[in-house]
């Protein structure tokens, strides 16, 4: 399954990255090289092997259901690009 | 030729925890915008999720209530997509290994015949924990949308059914039963206006016996009425489309409650590729039997078992039993009243479903706001049962308790509502009536039975309505006979 | 003063030979003098550092203080530090003032250490040469034409050039060990979960681990004592007895079994590095250690596996940078989709975008099993290799990098070549094991060479002992770059 230029555009769209035709060409070449490097992995027989998602084989610790965070809106919104009436503003969302 | 409508429901129930599912921010509804959005809820750089034990406990409760398998080792995954109300650019949800496996829910579906219902078992595919998104506010920001992230991170239990429902009515009965259940076991406040309980309906149509048709998903139905209307409209639309030679394409649609129509969502047009993968920030969630049993001990008696008990042990009709278990509060009120007037189940049921419900409706209150306590109501019923007061008097006592409160026996006493049961006194009255009405007595004795009612009238009048009617009739009959 | 160990600095502060304010000012002046050449720091804030120093002097005047009280530490710009600009080396966060402290920062503040500044790094820690930083490349103090390594290149250069007493780094595929090796300093990546990731900007969550970077193993032990510890805000933070990582420093090494994986000495390894490593192994034999030949057969797959798993996690971790709540938003856009695409395309650099695309691709419909799932399975095979290996030895040793520092620009446009420079370090992250690099000589070009020491899970104290004993009989770690007048 060799990666096509269309895959590059599709993935850029999935990742919300604006991609010019020329940038896509460059990316395509580099991604093909990288997937060439990765290909080595796919020959390996891994039947019966449990996938490893975490570095340790332990289970999750839980938090007690208590409120520990309080309003810091002013501090957090100091970093916001566009605010109105305490809301984060973005271009119209179409549903 | 016939069409069969096939419906499966996905219900999102907000869990009634005090803090959010992955952060320590408050989960309360209705705060000022973004005042309950913590660093974790805002997805600031470097912050991490930590799972709320209360959310897991509520999920286990639900699993037990629907007799489902509870996964000993479930996994949280990331569902990746971009949307302004989704701060991380992914929703933490469960995919491969949900916390709750297959279960089932028994529902009562009303038929066109009044009061008639039929039983149906709806299979549950799964239920999983996930986080809610924020809210997009489209009003008055000329061309802009405002984002409030207070709701982001609210714990959700997404309950997925099999496509087992065959009509909008069945779907609504299922949704109502689920709504009753989550409130019954105390995991969700069920407030649909606030979005605490939201339904997505997957609707398709097919010829009976044929393969499942292509489904369209109606999103975010937050009232039972809209659920009914949306499904009916959508199903008809699909039937018309097919009958006009068209084809149905899988789509996500919204219900426009003003127009009463469904329309495809523009934002969902591009096919999604959510790139689910196990969340590396969250280790597998382990639930051992010990924990499950601890939760089981906190589970109240469920509606179905109460219904069965009311019918078998209390001799109520299944209709009465269903009505009395329509909410946990109603059932609790019924049982508390029954404690005051033991062995008077039917009387309790009649009064609760009659005078009490009527009065509550009139002032549109629910049972939790009933001005009369089970103790007071039970007190009244006790006196009806032991013959101290007549039904008419009981209604009077009830009215007074409703408006002024107080103690039933005291009211009966001060208002002198006791029935007369002094046989001697009643015989004296009857003797007087007989001697004062020779003509009518003669008619009666000559066989004009219907004159009897006339004597009853006089007798009750003489006793100022306090005479025990049965007793008085017996005396009249006896005296008129000789 | 700039050659002093942390213990010596601590002693000088406690004996009032120097105040924390004076010491901090000395370093700030040195930064002012040399940083323009090295570009090791992204942000320096004299006022905030000196304010901390004044507070430290008050503490020092009182009785009980911590070994690191008053000592100036450079912080990799990946750690959020309250009221400090925290950029992660990216245009995306070039104006982001952190509203809270990372756990690591809190720990240093708690003991009264001084935050001397935020060090340069590859953008979002994605790189092995520090050339992907939005704030410009860092120079290797040993040769200004060479790279310092990455992604913690700023910290490595700062320690190497004595622009701080010590520094912090993070290591996802070698980002502490590789720059430590290329800059001739000591650096350690602890066992995954030993140091909380809270407030440390995520690259690949299941691999990221913070660690100390300093002149010596002894310094590393003192720093790790502060950095390590349970944190309830990180679900992967481990609840363990607190340990004193200095406790075993002086144990003799008699009987130590050193495993040498044949895969680490195969082709691709340059001669000068090979010779330096062999020389240090003989030093260890003199110290009483014995050598065992071992094999890590699956380790050859660690680069392919890493370049599937790390980008997959990164593509998702970096989705939060959308220009809605904080960070860079494109100046012009036509609608919401356009705002996302432009903000992210302009806010992220080429390498970051490349990895986001790799990650989105390997997770996307139809490719998940062939790439992501397969990589996770091989990750287990790689981890199992180490379990087997540690049945035969106490520590594993080998080169940290195949060559000494390459030149700036040399591999910039050939990602695959760049990726291969982490060939010996990545397997350790995949397994979650602790690993470190210490100075072990110089190459033909006069650039430093690093010896990598890999330990079993939670064996940091022993690894530090092994490194410290070597540093008692060698002086590689005391060498300083010629051009700097110290
Ligand atoms: Mg609610
Ligand atoms: Zn959902």
Q: How far apart (Å, rounded) are the C-alpha atoms in residues C424 and C402?
A: 8
Contact C48, C84 (CB under 8 A): yes
Q: Angle CA(A61)–CA(A64)–CA(A69) in degrees, nearest 5?
A: 110
Averaged confidence pLDDT in chain B = 92
Give the model's pLDDT for residue B1.
67
- Closest to C167 (Cα-Cα) out of C228, C215, C107: C215
Comparing B469 with B123, the larger pLDDT belongs to B123
Nearest chain C alpha carbon to A1: C367
Give start and end residues of each alpha helix (H) in B21-70: 53-65
Are C88 and B50 in contact (CB < 8 Å)? Answer: no
- Taking only the tens place, the pLDDT of each residue in C401-429 is 999 999 999 998 888 888 988 999 999 99
| Calpha distance B401→C143 (Å, rounded) | 95
Locus of tokens 């004044």: C54
Q: What is the mean pLDDT of residues B296-301?
A: 96
Query: By the 8 A CB rule, do C358 and A3 touch?
Result: no
**What is the per-residue DSSP string for C400-430?**
SSSSSPPBTTSSTT-HHHHHHTTTTTHHHHH
Contact A27, C357 (CB under 8 A): yes
pLDDT given at position C485: 55
C-alpha B472/C-alpha B244 separation (Å) is: 75
- Which residues, including other chains, have CB under 8 Å from residue B468's CB and lie 6 or more apart? B387, B390, B419, B420, B421
Chain segment B400-447, per-residue pLDDT in tens: 999 999 999 999 988 888 877 778 888 888 888 988 888 888 888 888
In degrees, to the nearest 5, what angle opens at C-alpha C432 toward C-alphas C430 and C434?
A: 120
- Mean pLDDT throughout B327-340? 94
Other residues' Cβ atoms within 10 Å of the Cβ of residue C259: 23
Residues C123, C349 contacting (CB under 8 angstroms) = yes
To which residue do tokens 């340069």 refer?
A: C120
Closest CA to C196 of C213, C177, C209, C206: C209
CB–CB contact C199 B47 (8 Å): yes
Instruction: Look at residue B272 in the predicted model and tell me its pLDDT.
Output: 79
Residues whose CB falls within 8 Å of the CB of residue C450, separated by 6 or more in sequence, listed in order: C177, C178, C180, C181, C182, C184, C399, C400, C401, C437, C438, C439, C440
Q: B45 contacts in C (CB within 8 Å)?
A: 80, 86, 88, 93, 96, 98, 201-202, 320
Backbone angles phi, psi at B342, to 5 degrees: -55, 155
Q: Is the dihedral of CA C363, C367, C368, C370 positive or negative?
A: negative
Residue corresponding to tokens 């660093």:
B39
Q: How far apart are CA A59 and CA A67, in angstroms?
A: 24
- Which burial class, exposed, middle or buried, applies to A37 when counting CB atoms under 10 A from its CB (0-12, 13-18, 19+)? middle
Q: How far apart are CA A72 and CA B39, in angstroms?
A: 9
Query: Subunits with at least 3 CB pairs below 8 A relative to chain A?
Result: B, C
Concatenate the DSSP letters of all residues of B174-201 into one string: HHHHHHHHHHHTTS----TTTTSEEEEE
Share of chain C above pLDDT 70, in %: 99
Q: In angstroms, rounded to a whole number, what is the distance separating the alpha carbons of residues C170 and C153?
A: 10
Between CA C99 and CA C108, with CA C102 as vertex, the angle to 5 degrees is 115
Q: Where are the alpha helices (DSSP H) in B28-97?
A: 53-65
Do the chains contact at B24 and A69, CB–CB below 8 Å? yes
Is A35 near chain B, with CB under 8 Å? no
pLDDT tens by residue, B122-174:
999 999 999 999 999 987 778 899 999 999 999 999 999 999 999 999 999 99
pLDDT grade, residue C486 (50/70/90)?
Answer: very low
Establish whether C290 is a catalytic residue. Answer: no
Length of chain A: 95
Tell me the C-alpha distance between B232 and B334, whole Å: 36
Backbone dihedral angles phi then psi of residue C344, each to the nearest 5 degrees: -75, -35
pLDDT digits (tens, 9 = 90+) for B186-217: 999 999 999 999 999 999 999 998 999 999 99
For the segment B40-61, the average pLDDT, to the nearest whole number, is: 98
The number of beta carbons lying within 10 Å of the beta carbon of residue A28 is 17
Contact B49, B40 (CB under 8 A): yes
Closest CA–CA distance from residue B285 to any residue of chain A (Å): 5
Q: Residue B393 has what pLDDT?
A: 86
Encoded tokens for C128: 């092995």
Report how far residue C208's alpha carbon sits from residue C88's, in angstroms, rounded to the nearest whole number.
14
Tokens for B386? 């032991």
CB B190 within 8 A of CB B197: yes
- Whether B244 shows a pLDDT value over 50: the answer reads yes
- Six-digit token string for C116: 């001397």
Contact between residue B295 and residue B60 where contact means Cβ atoms under 8 Å apart: yes
Number of H helices, E strands in chain A: 3, 2
Please report where in the chains the tokens 């010629």 appear, as a residue: C482
State how far the Cα of C405 lies from the Cα of C408, in Å rounded to an integer. 9
Q: Is C36 a catalytic residue?
A: no
C52 vs C67: CA distance, rounded Å: 16
**Residue closest to C439 by CA, chosen among C225, C156, C250:** C156
pLDDT band at residue B269, thresholds of 50, 70 and 90?
very low
* Predicted pLDDT of residue C483: 67
Interaxial angle between packed helices C46-61 and C6-14, expressed in degrees from 0 to 180 and rounded to the nearest 10: 60
Query: Residue C80 and residue B46: Cα distance in Å, rounded?
Result: 7
Q: In this structure, are residues C311 and C359 in contact, taking their beta carbons and an 8 Å threshold?
A: yes
Looking at residue B139, its pLDDT comes to 76
- Rg value, chain C, Cα: 21
Q: Are B367 and B333 in contact (CB under 8 A)?
A: yes
Lay out the sheet containing A87-91: strands in order across.
A83-84, A87-91, B144-148, B135-137
User: Residue B378 corresponds to which tokens in the numbers above?
Assistant: 């039970």
CB contact residues (below 8 A), chain C span 183-222, against chain B: 197-202, 204-206
CB-based contact (8 Å) between A52 and chain B? no
* C274 three-state secondary structure: helix
Is B53 close to A58, i.e. CB distance below 8 A? no
Instruction: Give me the pLDDT at residue B266, please.
Output: 66
CA distance A77 to B182: 36
B250 vs B260: CA distance, rounded Å = 21
Exposure string over B150-160, b if 16+ CB within 10 A, otherwise e = bbbbbbbbbbb
Residues in chain C: 486
Alpha helices in B325-451 (DSSP H): 328-340, 345-351, 357-362, 374-385, 391-404, 408-414, 423-436, 438-445
Find the residue in A nearest to B279 (Cα): A53
pLDDT (average), residues B332-358:
93
Beta A87-91 vs A83-84: how paired, if at all?
A: antiparallel
Mean pLDDT within C9-35 = 96
In this prediction, residues C145-172 reach a mean pLDDT of 97
- CB neighbours of residue B20 within 10 Å: 31
Q: Is the pLDDT of residue C15 over 60?
A: yes
| Chain A residues with CB-CB distance to B145 below 8 A | 89-93
- How confident is residue B481, by pLDDT bands cut at 50, 70 and 90? confident
User: How far apart are the CA of A11 and the centre of ligand 2, in A?
Assistant: 24
Burial class (CB in 10 A: 0-12, 13-18, 19+), C475: exposed
Query: Which carries the bigger pLDDT value, residue B449 or residue B397?
Result: B397
CA of A69 to the centre of ligand 2 (A): 25
Residue for token digits 């090796």? C181
* Amino acid B468: pLDDT: 80
Angle at B249 between CA B248 and CA B255, to 5 degrees: 85
Q: What is the distance between the alpha carbons of residues B339 and B345, in angstroms, rounded to a whole number? A: 10
Confidence of residue B334 (pLDDT cuts 50, 70, 90): very high
Q: Is C387 on the interface with A (CB under 8 A)?
A: no
Which position among C128, C151, C160, C299 bears the catalytic label? C151
């Amino acid at each position: 399954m060799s990666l096509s230029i269309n895959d590059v555009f599709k993935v850029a769209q999935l990742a919300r990255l604006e991609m010019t035709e020329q940038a896509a060409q460059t990316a395509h070449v580099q991604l093909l090289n990288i997937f060439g490097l990765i290909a080595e992995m796919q020959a390996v027989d891994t039947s019966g092997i449990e996938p490893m998602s975490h570095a340790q084989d332990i289970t999750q610790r839980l938090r007690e259901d208590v409120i520990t965070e309080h309003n810091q809106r002013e501090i957090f919104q100091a970093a916001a690009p566009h605010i109105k009436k305490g809301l984060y503003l973005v271009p119209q969302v179409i549903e | 030729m016939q069409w069969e409508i096939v419906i499966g429901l996905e219900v999102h129930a907000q869990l009634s925890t005090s803090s959010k599912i992955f952060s320590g921010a408050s989960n309360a509804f209705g705060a000022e915008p973004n005042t309950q959005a913590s660093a974790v809820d805002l997805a600031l750089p470097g912050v991490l999720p930590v799972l709320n034990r209360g959310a897991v406990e509520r999920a286990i409760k639900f699993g037990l209530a629907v007799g489902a398998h509870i996964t000993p080792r479930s996994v949280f995954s990331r569902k990746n997509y971009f949307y302004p109300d989704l701060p991380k650019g992914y929703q933490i949800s469960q995919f491969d290994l949900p916390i709750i496996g297959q279960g089932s829910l028994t529902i009562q579906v009303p038929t066109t015949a009044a009061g008639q219902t039929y039983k149906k078992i709806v299979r549950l595919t799964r239920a999983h924990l996930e986080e809610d998104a924020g809210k997009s506010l489209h009003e008055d920001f000329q061309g802009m949308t405002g984002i409030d992230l207070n709701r982001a991170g609210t714990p959700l239990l997404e309950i997925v059914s099999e496509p087992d429902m065959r009509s909008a009515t069945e779907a609504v009965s299922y949704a109502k039963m689920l709504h009753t259940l989550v409130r019954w076991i105390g995991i969700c406040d069920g407030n649909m206006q606030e979005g605490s309980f939201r339904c997505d309906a997957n609707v398709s149509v097919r010829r009976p016996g044929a393969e499942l048709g292509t489904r369209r998903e109606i999103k975010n139905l937050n009232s039972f009425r809209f659920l009914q209307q949306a499904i009916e409209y959508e199903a008809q639309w699909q039937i018309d489309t097919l009958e006009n030679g068209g084809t149905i394409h899988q789509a996500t649609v919204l219900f426009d409650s003003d127009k009463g129509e469904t329309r495809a969502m523009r934002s969902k047009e591009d096919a999604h590729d959510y790139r689910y993968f196990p969340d590396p920030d969250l280790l597998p969630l382990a639930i051992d039997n010990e924990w499950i049993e601890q939760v089981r001990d906190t589970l109240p008696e469920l509606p179905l078992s109460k219904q069965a008990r009311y019918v078998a042990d209390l001799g109520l009709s299944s209709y009465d039993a269903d009505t009395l278990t329509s909410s946990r509060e109603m059932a609790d009120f019924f049982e508390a009243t029954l404690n005051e007037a033991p062995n008077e189940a039917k009387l309790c049921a009649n009064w609760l479903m009659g005078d009490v419900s009527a009065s509550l409706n009139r002032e549109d209150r629910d049972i939790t706001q009933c001005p009369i306590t089970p103790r007071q109501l039970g007190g009244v019923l006790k006196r009806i049962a032991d013959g101290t007061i007549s039904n008419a008097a009981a209604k009077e006592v009830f009215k007074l308790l409703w408006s002024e409160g107080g103690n039933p026996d005291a009211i009966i006493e001060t208002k002198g509502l006791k029935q007369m049961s002094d046989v001697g006194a009643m015989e004296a009255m009857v003797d007087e009536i007989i001697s004062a009405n020779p003509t009518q007595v003669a008619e009666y004795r000559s066989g004009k039975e219907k004159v009897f009612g006339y004597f009853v009238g006089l007798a009750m009048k003489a006793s100022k309505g306090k005479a025990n009617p049965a007793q008085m009739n017996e005396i009249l009959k006896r005296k008129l006979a000789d | 003063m700039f050659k002093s160990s942390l213990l010596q600095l601590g002693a000088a502060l406690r004996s009032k030979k120097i105040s924390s304010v004076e010491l901090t000012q000395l370093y700030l002046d040195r930064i002012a003098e040399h940083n323009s050449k090295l570009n090791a720091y992204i942000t320096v804030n004299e006022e905030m550092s000196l304010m901390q120093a004044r507070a430290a002097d008050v503490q020092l005047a009182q009785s009980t203080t911590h070994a690191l009280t008053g000592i100036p530490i450079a912080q990799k710009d990946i750690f959020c530090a309250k009221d400090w600009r925290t950029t992660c080396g990216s245009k995306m966060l070039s104006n982001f003032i952190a509203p809270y402290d990372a756990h690591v920062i809190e720990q240093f503040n708690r003991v009264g250490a001084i935050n001397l500044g935020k060090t340069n790094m590859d953008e979002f820690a994605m790189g092995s040469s520090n050339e992907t930083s939005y704030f410009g490349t860092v120079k290797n103090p040993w040769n200004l034409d060479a790279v310092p390594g990455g992604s913690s290149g700023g910290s490595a250069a700062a320690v190497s050039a004595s622009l701080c007493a010590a520094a912090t780094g993070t290591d996802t595929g070698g980002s502490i060990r590789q720059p430590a090796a290329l800059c001739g300093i000591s650096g350690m990546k602890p066992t995954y979960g030993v140091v909380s990731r809270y407030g440390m900007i995520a690259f690949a969550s299941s691999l990221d681990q913070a660690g100390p970077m300093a002149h010596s193993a002894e310094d590393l032990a003192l720093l790790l004592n502060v950095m390590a510890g349970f944190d309830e805000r990180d679900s992967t933070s481990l609840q363990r007895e607190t340990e004193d990582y200095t406790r075993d420093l002086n144990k003799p090494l008699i009987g130590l079994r050193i495993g040498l994986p044949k895969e680490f000495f195969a082709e691709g390894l340059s001669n000068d590095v090979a010779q330096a490593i062999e020389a240090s192994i003989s030093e260890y034999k003199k110290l009483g250690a014995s050598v065992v030949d071992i094999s890590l057969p699956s380790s050859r797959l660690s680069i392919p596996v890493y370049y599937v798993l790390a980008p997959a996690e990164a593509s998702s971790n970096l989705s939060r940078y959308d220009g809605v709540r904080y960070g860079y938003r494109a100046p012009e856009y036509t609608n919401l989709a356009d705002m996302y695409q432009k903000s992210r395309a302009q806010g992220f650099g080429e390498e970051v975008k490349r990895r986001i695309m790799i990650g989105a691709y390997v997770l996307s419909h139809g490719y998940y099993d062939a790439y992501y799932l397969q990589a996770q399975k091989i990750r287990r095979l790689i981890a199992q290799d180490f379990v087997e290996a540690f049945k035969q030895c106490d520590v594993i040793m080998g080169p940290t990098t195949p060559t000494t520092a390459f030149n700036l620009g040399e591999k910039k446009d050939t990602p695959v070549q760049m990726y291969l420079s982490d060939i010996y370090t990545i397997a350790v992250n995949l397994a979650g094991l602790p690993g470190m690099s210490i100075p072990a000589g110089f190459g033909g070009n006069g650039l430093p060479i690093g010896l990598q020491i890999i330990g079993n899970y939670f064996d940091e104290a022993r690894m530090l002992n092994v490194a410290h004993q070597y540093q008692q009989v060698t002086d590689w770690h005391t060498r300083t770059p010629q051009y700097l007048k110290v």
